[in-house]
Structure 1
Amino acid sequence: MTKQGTILGGVLVALLASTAMAVAEDKPIQFVECGDAPSAVHVANIKKWEAANPGFPVSVEVVGWGQCQDKVTTLAVAGTPVGLAYIGSRALKQLASNDLIVPIPMSDDEKKAYYNYIPDTVTFDGKQWGSPVAFSTKALYWNKDLFTAAGLDPEKPPVTWAEEIADAKAISEKTEAAGFGVVAKTFDNTMHQFLHWVYTNGGSVIDADGNITLDSKNNLEALTALKDITAYAEEGPTAYEQNEVRAIFLDGKLGMIQAASGARGLLKDVKFKWGVTLLPLGPEAKGPGTLLITDSMAVFKGTGVEDQAISLAKFLTDPANQTEYEAEQGLTPLRPGPAVDAMVAADATWKPFLDSIQFGGPEPLLTDYVGLQNTMIEMVQSVVTGQAEPQAALTKAAAALEEFK
């Protein structure tokens, strides 16, 4: 080979090598994570995944909770989907029904590793459409000082709805505080808070066959109990979402609230004594319940890196990595195991958040989650403001949900 040929050959090899590298680098996975800052655990684990999967660099974009889900949905509808996104599991059915995401299959062993019903939060038509990444249950927090001031036993929180309403009444009438924090703002957790009443009375919104079951005796009792306790709530509950109600409780001006495990950390520096226990039960309850809310990793269709995005989603949420992430975020664990047993042994305030899972229920999966949410919010608001009686509001809402199932 001539010197010129050798040089040209070397250039050709270099060009081919650089082209191969460019092709590999041209297959990035865009990951949208909801929140205010990227999870350090996720960032570290993404680097591990990238090392094992060369040619598929991951770019992480953090989007605020209020815009996150809308952004990834809009991009998908526009034909420019992201590879992977952290979204509320309630959106999965709508996204899948519109052919915007791909399944993330679970083996039977993977399903069995989770707490009860968690796979149900991402399943419809026999397929799993997300990989659970965050889990929230609720418990009842009570202000022991206000219980004492109202003549109640501070070490005896309510066990039933009847006791809860009676305790709220006593606090409202005998102290300067309100008895119970009612959430009724035009915001998604107004629906969530009502569903805690549903699942502490054996109720449901939609069954496994897709039938709307909202208009039931169980749910009528739930909506009636919410109406009754509103008389002893903070003034104007339609102005408050859960974090705003929690702020009143932290200020010592509410007797009881329903809140997630994260409130425990916020209560460390308060000046009053407090406790946390299972959500009180309605007359039809079979055991302690709560709404089981999950967020999931969803893989969007049409990126050309769907298989790699599924691999990344499963890696970030595998038992070891997920446990590390839950500890970082203070989340209710998705899976039972020795680490959870040790956590409860070290801090018994975790117990009610786990004991309520057995009889809890998943967030309803409908094809239009915004329609579901708005219908439920309107129902709750109409009752707590006295504009509608529980039965009429329930019947109206159930009929409206038929359009969104």
Structure 2
Amino acid sequence: MALSPRTRALAATTLALTAIAGCSSASGGSGGDGAKDGVVSIDFYYPDQVGTLSTLIDGYLKDFAKEHPEIKVKGVYSGDYDQTLAAVNTAIDARKAPALAIMDQSFMHDLVERKAVTAWNPFLTSDADRKWKDSFYPQFMSNSVGADGQVWGIPFARSTIVQYWNKDYFKKAGLDPEKPPAGWDELVADAKAVQSGAGAKWGLFIPTSTGTAYWLYQALVQQAGGDGAISDRAGTKVTVNSEQNVKALEFWASLGTQKIAPTTEVAWGTSTDDFLAGTTGILWTTSGRIGSIQEKAGFDWGVSALPAGAGKGAPTGGGSLMLFDAGVSKKQKEAAVTLAKFLTTPERAADVSIKSGYIATSEAAWNTEAMRAHLAKHPQAKAPHDAVADAIPEMATPDRDRVVYQTLAPALQSVLLKGADPRKALDKAQSDIDAVLKTHR
């Protein structure tokens, strides 16, 4: 199989991160049940996709050590989500898996198929356990539950796609700065207005990078009236060439044709900086960027749910806490569950949201005193919370690299960046994806 640039990069990352797994001895290398002198030692891998999470987690782990001296946690910062997956896979191969890790929830099917993770169900037997599990928003739990009803992840740093707009540009262009575009027609009109009336180089950025194009595409499919989830719960049936799928891609491509958006790649990693620099008047990206924009914006800005069409909503994203098997004892898993409960209290969920921009994962977190004070000072933070009501599951399949990065993303980019025919590109992608998933049914 020919490797995509992304796959080659991940292979290189795996080699670079081998040292993480090799020197990690708390879970897999300690032998026995991971306990010594009454203290259970575990490894905990955590990524940082937005640049603020690692510092927060370091602080939480120090607090956990004070409250739970019977559990020794070795926290391992593991890069972004893809780097974390590479590090975890290396550790699994060495039978030194972390007891707990924050993983992109869309990795679930591959990890389950590999028998690398442990379901949470055996640790959710008491009323208190079930109440804890049920406290999380069902929109976030939807990606965590398999077709067999097994729970494979507990929401931690979760997100959705939202719309940011430059209120100063809107005001200068004669638009109502408090009224973001609520539909596709308004989106196009407002994007044109900030270009012609406010001097923005571009009206709208919707990132087209390989790693995230599918995520933005899901939102457009949902708005076009289709099934934005694209994949079924088992992940083995994917639909990318329905009439609504084609309509969504045609609309996305039309933004470049109308010169509202670039026909060159809009990079995920730099699009927020472009918005902050005033390069674009409107940006679609993760709610997890609120903290950064809040800190750095030199202009008045707003954030809202994405525009609606025949449908509304956007996919969820972000990371969930997963339990691992390879070299991890029952006592270590129990210790990992204790850590997970500690990390997901309403107070800490609120703190993660306030300081990073991720969406607090339960209603209890939104009702904390700290969150109420934050919303009073920064009302923009409420928009992602409101968007959760219409959130849909993120696309998740087995063999994710081939389905998403090597097939769907290139098909989308062939249309957006090279002018290919949307229907032909999606029909070809559908055929190729069906062939990949056939072996997993």
Please give the alpha-carbon distance, in whole angstroms, between the structure 2 residues aligned to 1:356 and 1:387. 32
- Structure (1 or 2) with the larger CA radius of gyration: 1
Which residue does 1:392 correspond to in 2? Answer: 424
Residue aligned with 1:213, SS: coil
Contact 1:250 1:267 (8 Å CA) reproduced: no
Percent identity, please: 25
Which residue does 2:286 correspond to in 1? Answer: 260
* Unaligned segments of structure 1, at least 5 residues: 1-19
Residue aligned with 2:156, SS: strand
Which residue does 2:276 correspond to in 1? Answer: 250
Which residue does 1:43 correspond to in 2? Answer: 61
Please give the alpha-carbon distance, in whole angstroms, between the structure 2 residues aligned to 1:167 and 1:321. 38
Residue aligned with 2:388, SS: coil
Please give the alpha-carbon distance, in whole angstroms, between the structure 1 residues aligned to 2:391 and 2:379. 20
Give the 5 Å matches for 1:39-188: 39-48=57-66, 50-51=68-69, 54=70, 56-65=71-80, 67-105=83-121, 109-124=131-146, 125-173=148-196, 175-186=199-210, 188=211
Please give the alpha-carbon distance, in whole angstroms, between the structure 2 residues aligned to 1:250 and 1:208. 37
Give the 5 Å matches for 1:350-365: 350-365=381-396
Contact 2:159 2:358 (8 Å CA) reproduced: yes
**Residues 249 and 207 of structure 1: CA distance in aligned 2, closer, same or farther (over 3 Å):** same
Please give the alpha-carbon distance, in whole angstroms, between the structure 1 residues aligned to 2:322 and 2:271. 31
Deviations 1:255-281 (A, max 9, x none): 110133433542555443322222111
Residue aligned with 2:363, SS: coil
Contact 1:291 1:361 (8 Å CA) reproduced: yes
* Paired residue type of 1:184: T
Please give the alpha-carbon distance, in whole angstroms, between the structure 1 residues aligned to 2:296 and 2:139. 35
Which residue does 2:10 correspond to in 1? Answer: none
Q: TM-score, normalised by structure 1?
A: 0.83
Please give the alpha-carbon distance, in whole angstroms, between the structure 1 residues aligned to 2:387 and 2:342. 28
1:294 corresponds to which of 309, 318, 321? 318
CA root-mean-square deviation: 2.8
Q: TM-score, normalised by structure 2?
A: 0.77
Please give the alpha-carbon distance, in whole angstroms, between the structure 2 residues aligned to 1:248 and 1:346. 25
Which residue does 1:207 correspond to in 2? Answer: 232
* Unaligned segments of structure 2, at least 5 residues: 1-32
**Residues 270 and 102 of structure 1: CA distance in aligned 2, closer, same or farther (over 3 Å):** closer
Which residue does 1:380 correspond to in 2? Answer: 412
Residue aligned with 2:98, SS: coil
2:400 corresponds to which of 363, 369, 375? 369
* Paired residue type of 1:308: A
* Paired residue type of 1:298: M
Greater CA drift, 124-133 or 76-85: 76-85
**Residues 112 and 201 of structure 1: CA distance in aligned 2, closer, same or farther (over 3 Å):** farther
Which residue does 2:303 correspond to in 1? Answer: 276
Deviations 1:342-401 (A, max 9, x none): 643443212221221112111122112222331332122111124422222222223333
Deviations 1:283-323 (A, max 9, x none): x21xx412211301111103212232233223322434433
Please give the alpha-carbon distance, in whole angstroms, between the structure 2 residues aligned to 1:326 and 1:172. 33
Number of equivalenced pairs = 378
Which residue does 1:13 correspond to in 2? Answer: none
Greater CA drift, 301-310 or 101-110: 101-110
Greater CA drift, 198-207 or 80-89: 198-207
Please give the alpha-carbon distance, in whole angstroms, between the structure 1 residues aligned to 2:203 and 2:188. 8
Contact 1:118 1:294 (8 Å CA) reproduced: no
Quote how far apart the aligned CAs of 1:226 are: 0.9
Which residue does 1:5 correspond to in 2? Answer: none
* Paired residue type of 2:140: I
Contact 2:133 2:154 (8 Å CA) reproduced: no
